[in-house]
Structure 1
Amino acid sequence: MKRNTLEEVLKQTGIMVADGAMATELERMGCDLNDSLWSAKVLAEQPELIGKVHRSYFEAGADCGITASYQATIDGFCKRGYTEAEAEELIRRSVDIMVKEREDWWQAEGKDAGRAYPLVCASVGPYGAYLADGSEYRGNYGVSKEDLRKFHKRRMELLWDAGADLFAVETIPCLEEAIVAAELTQEMNAACWISFSCKNETEISDGTKIADCAKALEAFECVKAIGINCTAPHFVASLIKEIKNNSTKPIIVYPNSGEEYDPVTKTWHGNKDGKCYCDFAAEWIAAGAKIVGGCCRTTPDNIREVAELARKK
Structure 2
Amino acid sequence: MTHHIQKAIKEGPILLDGAMGTELSKKGLATNNDLWSALALITSPEEIYAVHKSYFDAGAKIAITNTYQANLPAFEKHGIDKKDGKILIKKAVALARQARDESNQEGFVAGSIGPYGAFLADGSEYTGAYHLSRAEYQAFHQPRLDALLEAGVDLIACETMPNFEEIKALCALIHRTSPSILYWVSFSLKDSHTLCDGTPLKKAITALAQESQIIAIGANCIEASLVDDAIAEFKAASHLPIVIYPNSGESYDPISKTWQTNATAFNLADLATKWVKSGVQLIGGCCRTSPDEIKTIAQNLEKLKAFETAIKKD
CA contact (8 A) 1:233 1:256 kept: yes
SS for the counterpart of 1:170 is strand
> Structure 2 residue aligned with 1:266, among 257, 262, 265?
257
Which residue pairs with 1:88 in the alignment? 86
Shift of 1:286: 2.5
> Structure 2 residue aligned with 1:228, among 215, 219, 223?
219
Q: Deviations 1:78-120 (Å, cap 9, x if unpaired)?
A: 11101111111001111011111111112xxx2xxxxxx1110
Matches within 5 A, 1:5-154: 5-12=4-11, 14-106=12-104, 110=105, 117-154=106-143
> Structure 2 residue aligned with 1:284, among 244, 262, 275?
275
Alignment partners' CA distance in 2, 1:28 and 1:274: 20
Q: Deviations 1:219-248 (Å, cap 9, x if unpaired)?
A: 101111000001111101110110110011
Matches within 5 A, 1:118-267: 118-187=107-176, 188-189=178-179, 190-267=181-258
The amino acid of 2:136's aligned partner reads D
Shift of 1:275: 2.5
The amino acid of 2:292's aligned partner reads D
Greater shift in the superposed pair: 180-189 or 209-218:
180-189
Shift of 1:266: 1.4
Can you give the 5+ residue segments of structure 1 that lack an aligned partner in the other structure? 111-116
Q: Normalization by structure 2: what TM-score?
A: 0.93
Shift of 1:158: 0.9
Instruction: Give 4+ residue runs of structure 1 displaced > 3 Å after superposition.
Output: 2-5
CA contact (8 A) 2:45 2:95 kept: yes
SS for the counterpart of 2:103 is helix
Alignment partners' CA distance in 1, 2:160 and 2:33: 19
CA contact (8 A) 2:205 2:234 kept: yes
SS for the counterpart of 1:199 is strand
Alignment partners' CA distance in 1, 2:3 and 2:110: 10
SS for the counterpart of 2:31 is coil
The amino acid of 2:147's aligned partner reads L
Alignment partners' CA distance in 2, 1:5 and 1:227: 21
Which residue pairs with 2:286 in the alignment? 295
SS for the counterpart of 1:100 is helix
CA contact (8 A) 2:186 2:220 kept: yes
Shift of 1:5: 4.2
The amino acid of 1:250's aligned partner reads P
Shift of 1:126: 0.3
The amino acid of 2:34's aligned partner reads S
Q: How many residues align?
A: 302
Greater shift in the superposed pair: 142-151 or 53-62:
142-151
Q: Deviations 1:32-84 (Å, cap 9, x if unpaired)?
A: 11211111110011100000000000011101000000000011101110111
Can you give the 5+ residue segments of structure 2 that lack an aligned partner in the other structure? 306-314
CA contact (8 A) 2:32 2:258 kept: no
The amino acid of 2:41's aligned partner reads L
SS for the counterpart of 1:281 is helix
Greater shift in the superposed pair: 244-253 or 282-291:
282-291
Aligned-residue sequence identity (percent) comes to: 40
Shift of 1:296: 0.3
The amino acid of 1:148's aligned partner reads Y
